[in-house]
Amino acid sequence: MMKNAVECRDVTVVRGEREVLHGVGFDLATGSVTGLLGPSGCGKTTLIRAIVGLQAKVTGDVRVLGLPAGAPKLRGRIGYVTQEPSVYGDLTVTENLRFFAAVLGAGSAEVGRVIDAVDLGSHADVRVDRLSGGQKSRASLAAALLGDPDLLVLDEPTVGLDPVLRRDLWQLFHRLAGDGATLLVSSHVMDEASRCDRLLLMRDGELLADDTPADLLAAAGTADIEQAFLTLIDRKAGAR
């Protein structure tokens, strides 16, 4: 098993005439749950798109599962959940998952497994356009889980979910990591930081910190991640 599932070195992204990522670098250890935290608009989604091979005008080096990001051999090995639901509204949950399973070449038994994993059994035969926002997000997550991907990249997967479901999903994330998958989970909700093995804190296209939650709190001398984030911003501003 490789040590790192993702390796980013000096990753820069230009959109139009504006540079939106400024030389970002970090590793994601295999079998870990890493939180990508920062305010909306800080570059989290752009970085995620660079990792899954969907972002244009990327310079630097992004290697995923030992291959360049976007390599054809990575298809089927990466599960990606966008902020917007990625399932079809005019199909039921089960119909969506059967379709995606066929595309991926996953067995039919996979459909029931992923429906149970995201707790959508009672809505398996409901059309997606009749689900709540949180249920649609879970349906998208179920599609990403098909085939047991080696890397799961989840862009704000817990937004709009109730506290019990958020807790259950984080428990699922750690079970998947325990089975060897690597997860990158973005969020702008700082209280989710304590659920991660490691944290990447971003602001304005830059990486402010790459550390464990405990070490980040100790380095900042604070009791919560939000305050640690603010402390890092103040330190950076003072160093200029």
211, β-bridge pairs: 199
**Tens place of pLDDT per residue across the chain (240 aa):** 679 999 999 999 998 889 999 999 999 999 999 999 988 889 999 999 999 999 999 999 999 999 999 999 998 899 999 888 889 999 999 999 999 999 888 888 899 999 998 889 999 999 999 998 888 888 999 999 998 899 999 998 887 777 888 888 889 899 999 999 999 999 887 778 889 999 999 999 999 999 999 998 888 888 888 888 888 877 766 555
Phi, psi of 82 (to 5 degrees): -85, 170
The Cα–Cα gap between 61 and 78 comes to: 18
4-77+151-239 — its CATH code? Answer: 3.40.50.300
The Cα–Cα gap between 69 and 55 comes to: 10
Instruction: Name which of 231, 209, 208, 233 is nearest 220 in CA terms.
Output: 231
Beta strand spans in 65-220 (E): 67-68, 78-81, 151-155, 182-187, 198-203, 206-211
Q: Where are the domains of the chain?
A: 4-77+151-239, 84-148
DSSP letters spanning 97-120: HHHHHHHHT--THHHHHHHHHTT-
